[in-house]
Chain A
Amino acid sequence: MEALELLFFGFKVLLTWKILALMMVGLVLGIFVGVLPGLGGPNGVAILLPLTFTMDPTSAIVMLSCIYWGALFGGAITSILFNIPGEAWSVATTFDGYPMAQQGRAAEALTAAFTSSFIGSLVAVLLITFLAPGIASFALRFGSPEFFAVYLLTFCSFVGLGREEKHKTVISMSLGLLLAGVGMDTVSSQLRMTFGWAELYRGINFLVAVIGLFGISEILVTMEERLALRGHAASISLRVVLGVWKDLPRYWVTLLRSSAIGCWLGITPGGAIAASFMGYNLAKRFSKDPESFGKGRIEGVFAPETAAHASGTSALLPMLALGIPGSGTAAILLGGLMVWGLNPGPLLFVDHKDFAWGLIASMYLGNVVGLVMVLSTVPLFASVLRVPFAAIAPMIVVSCAIGAFAIQNAMFDIWLMLLFGVVGYVFKKIGIPLAPFTLALVLGNRAEDAFRLSMIGSGGDLRVFWSNGLVGTITTLALVLLFWPLLARLLGIGRRRDR
């Protein structure tokens, strides 16, 4: 029950006019960003991050997480009305969402999407409320070897469990870790990989890379595909909303299953994309009438949306409790924490109680307010998509440049952003995944520090990573995950992947 008390404390932190206003601003900006083609959750958060630089950490994180909720809701609008998934995890939503819109049931599909996002997130937030403090206090006993083992586990599970070709994941990750090491070495204060170039002394900022990799490259990809925006009009009436909600209990199994899948894949870095497809496929497989999926079945909207949002939200659990982000967006929020001068990790719950619980409380509040807001403003935001892309594209470029510059007040970072934009475009097209790169870039220094501190502690003996039950288990698990595809083949375990 202590969690509930602390949660109330969190709500008390939130209930000021200033924070509530920031919340609304964040939600509107988020929905806007989510609706725009070529932007979405992580990009929007990265680009709008500079707005929060001068705020206190609690206001900043509340606004930022509301931008994220808004973007998640906004993504569903484009998937259903325009058949354009704003994010890879909304792809599965288009399977049944767009046919529903074509049949004139857009309002129903949108209500279903928003409601199931809400349910998915709610389940994940409940999980965070009750699990995160426990995990964090457990992690307080961690020393450097344990932390390195957890980082290793994160990296290895990306390689072992990701769907991409293994060598591409390894390239993406090692490149990210390498670039994280550019600049001043934190342990010895020696310069590394700067080649005497003064601009590189302060290192390659993770957020600059993210803005380029996601924002600029997305514009290039969108432009290349030249999306012809043809949407369906929609406005949601209370009658439709109540109608969908009345039917909701009929789908409780689907909702529960998708929430569980989402939470599991969010905490382990399986990610929202895998979760949404798995949620959809399982709903189809267990359905009495699988043929009707893909032709405008409301369950086909419930299943992927619930799973994707449960996953997106629960990805914040390892970030809050351990300082390890479970998704790209969580990684960006983590970058934000560092900018505001907070040290992510288990100590957050001890040293910055108001921050940690304020954030958790804002997840509840942001979700409820967001749901009401999107349900009432869909026509307004859907009209954003009728603005020509030729007007939106340059505005996004400018926003990206503002974001990149504001982080360190360096013109060099704008150039770096452009470079990462091109790299991101090429990587995306040849299938080198960007998520491991992002994760490696944000965790690189911390992983290296943990490794070196462990080595200093043990006098260079690698056996420190098996020195006690806990660290030994995590390290071994990491190695098993790394070689999982190989092991699975050797052991003859047939793995069926959901497509």
Chain B
Amino acid sequence: MERSQDEADAGSPVASNRSVEIAVYACLLGLAALLGFDNWHTGIGWDPTGPRPGYFPFYLSVILGAASLFGLARELIARTQASDTFVTRQQLARVAQVFFPTLAFCLVTQWLGLYVASFLLVAGFMYFVGRIAAWKCLLTAFLFSAAMFVTFEIAFDVLMPKGPLEALFGR
């Protein structure tokens, strides 16, 4: 039942597969050119001892470029074909709901350490996206972050980025 409701308000397409493919091929073509140029700079010739460091990657960038060009040309020529939807407005909104918190999580990790960031991410995501009762969110987030801390920092000796809070506890 929920699905049909979903389909009904799926929203208008934001991008078609074809336009995204064209954009991706164009980016890859650019990347191939950039890397190809850099490798050409490093040296693509042969030394007495064999190929120079740029040789192997240079020809790989040529292959990458050629394959991207092929894809690009094919998508541009096949213009009459109807293309599938890459993402609808609603889908994009849902992807953003998880992408931006993840981005924020990475930023916060840099300043406050991973464990505080993980507490904020879990609690925030559950509360704002999942609309779950606040106490459940806080409790789950605390238990999760604490469990991660015990597992990695104490049991397995794998050290994570830490911030002022952990410093307070002398870790």
Contact = CB atoms under 8 A, between A and B. Distances in A.
A177 B39 CA distance: 14
Contact of A175 (B28, B52, B86, B130): B28
B12 interface: no
A411 B161 CA distance: 8
Interface string A24-60: 0000000000000000000000000011011000000
A398 B87 contact: no
Contacts of B146: none
A131 B70 CA distance: 42
Contacts of A103: none
Given A181-B56, A393-B98, A418-B102, A54 B24 contact: no
Contacts of A409: 159
Interface residues of A, number: 62
Nearest to A53: B158
A225 to B, nearest CB: 8
Contact of B3 (A223, A228, A399, A432): A228
Given A411-B161, A452-B56, A219 B122 contact: no
B2 A50 contact: no
Interface in B66-110: 67-68, 70-71, 74, 86-87, 91, 94-95, 97-99, 101-103, 105-106, 109-110
A398 B121 contact: yes
B125 A390 contact: yes
B17 A192 contact: no
Interface in A122-169: 167-168
Contacts of B63: 170, 174
Contacts of B117: 398
Interface of A, helix, strand, loop or mixed by DSSP: helix
A397 B158 contact: no
B160 interface: yes
A391 B140 contact: yes
B20 A50 contact: no
B160 A406 contact: yes
A397 B56 CA distance: 36
B126 A391 contact: yes
B165 to A, nearest CB: 16
Which of A171, A394, A402, A430 has the largest number of chain B CB atoms within 10 A?
Answer: A394
Given A220-B98, A391-B130, 11 more contacts: A54-B157, A171-B71, A174-B63, A185-B53, A192-B54, A219-B98, A224-B91, A228-B2, A399-B148, A402-B148, A430-B86
Question: What are the 5 closest A-B residue pairs judged by CB atoms, nearest first?
Answer: A390-B130, A456-B50, A174-B64, A394-B125, A398-B118
29 contacts: A51-B158, A174-B63, A175-B28, A175-B64, A178-B35, A178-B64, A187-B53, A190-B53, A192-B57, A193-B57, A195-B38, A388-B126, A390-B129, A390-B132, A393-B98, A394-B125, A402-B114, A402-B148, A406-B152, A418-B106, A421-B102, A422-B99, A426-B20, A430-B21, A451-B56, A452-B56, A455-B50, A460-B50, A460-B51
